[in-house]
Amino acid sequence: MPEEEKKPLSPAQTTATQLIQVVTPDAPSDGYYLLTQSPSSNKLTKKVTQKITDPAQFDLFGDGHIDESDFRLFIKGYRELAHGVKQSAAMLLDSLMIIATENGMADTLVTLPLKRYMQMRGLSDEKEIRKQVKADIDALERISFEYRGTGKNKGAWLRVHIAGGTSGQIKNGDIIFRFNQDFFDSFKVGDSGKYLYMFFPPEALQGSIRANPWKYWLARKIAEHKRMNIGKPNEDVIGVQTLIDGCPDYPKYEDVMAESRHVGMLIIDPFERNMDALAPRITWEYQLPEPPRDYHDFIDANVAIHWSAYPKDRMIQIEAGKKKRAKRQQAGENPAPRKKQKSANIPLPGMEDIFP
């Protein structure tokens, strides 16, 4: 049977192909994942594994909740979960969203081959990973959250479920998960309909959680910080306190001092070891003349982040676009509407969608 003639890619599909080359397993060794993100999703990821222990955080049905000024998390049947929502569930969520991002956020039904997930996580025990994924899917399907809307919904509380009704499963070697469309919509910026993205180092998902329990959280906070501060002097400088605040249930200084007093062993050493585990794509150093001498030197310090082969060419485009838009705004001009690509049948992201 003759091979079907390949049609040329549309401009939007070409842009997407260039982006996907950064994130697929076949990408060069310096590749990064492209991950859709938003302020509400960043809060969700941080809070979803936080232990719920206060009786006031439970209702009569055993459902748990965490309330903040602009974010509320709800976990149905939390008491039924042996150890709450595990970190592996947050990592599965990000892995599924990486696939959704590759697909242009065009389909809420995401299929992630189990073999690829094992590769993303750097795991080899298929029997164990199947068991873990099933438990993590169960946890994700229990989660909903509320966040303050933007644009036409500015200030209103919006309720969102992660899962979209169809039960997730592992079938024919694939992890199959249906997201709720409202969950996808929560990533959009105001009324623009655009998504925000960040480059995410693969090392964040790899390796043993037990050996480096904070590596994933540190990488996520660093990637979020980079995304939020692109073009600013502090885009690659971040405080130790900020990084630790991004790690759920990290040992607290007061608790350590009230018990063993082993601050170096329980707070400082794990931080340094988990930061080191992000190499080779992320390396770091204290912005101090010498290593911290005690906890106070440590917690007050900033660290400089060094990225290996970060997509600088895209950064240049981003900065140029931001400066042009700023000049137009100062001049009181309305930005020209973007032309729609008639040949594009999938709403794949272009540069302005990635970093509006």
Ranges of the chain with pLDDT below 70:
1-30, 150-151, 190-192, 312-326, 328-329, 332-356
Task: Give kind and range of the element (H or E) at residue 18.
Answer: helix 11-23
Find how far residue 72's CA is from the centre of its chain. Answer: 18
pLDDT of residue 25: 38
- Residue 341 has what pLDDT? 39
As given in the structure block, the two tokens for residue 307 are 């990225």
In a domain, 97, yes or no: yes
Can you give the residue range of the structural domain that contains 169? 8-200+314-356
Residues 59 and 179 reside in one and the same domain: yes
CA distance 324 to 304: 29
Q: Is residue 3 part of a domain?
A: no
The whole-number pLDDT of residue 231 equals 84
Same domain, 167 and 29: yes
Total tally of structural domains belonging to the chain: 2
Asked if 304 and 349 sit in the same domain, the reply is: no
Is 2 a member of any domain? no
pLDDT at 204: 96
Looking at 288, 308, 328, the residue that finishes a domain is 308
The per-residue pLDDT for 326 is 61
- The residue among 308, 326, 343 that closes a domain is 308
301 and 176 co-located in one domain: no
Compute how many other C-beta atoms are within 10 angstroms of the C-beta atom of residue 341: 15
Evaluate whether residue 240 is within a structural domain.
yes
Regarding whether 17 and 97 lie in a shared domain, the answer is yes
Same domain for 320 and 291? no
Does 280 share its domain with 164?
Answer: no
pLDDT at 73: 94
Q: What is the CATH number of the domain that holds 281?
A: 1.10.10
Cβ of 214: how many Cβ atoms within 10 Å? 23
Whether 163 maps to a domain, the answer reads yes
Contact 205, 94 (CB under 8 A): yes
Report whether 95 contacts 117 (CB < 8 A). yes
Would residue 268 count as lying in a domain? yes
36 in a structural domain: yes
In a domain, 139, yes or no: yes
281 lies in the same domain as 327: no
Q: Report pLDDT digits (tens) over 58-104.
A: 998 899 999 988 899 999 999 999 788 999 999 999 999 999 999 99
44 and 183 inside one domain: yes
Residues 75 and 196 in one domain: yes
Residues 53 and 155 in one domain: yes
For residues 248 and 320, state if they share a domain: no
Helices (H), 36-113: 39-47, 87-102
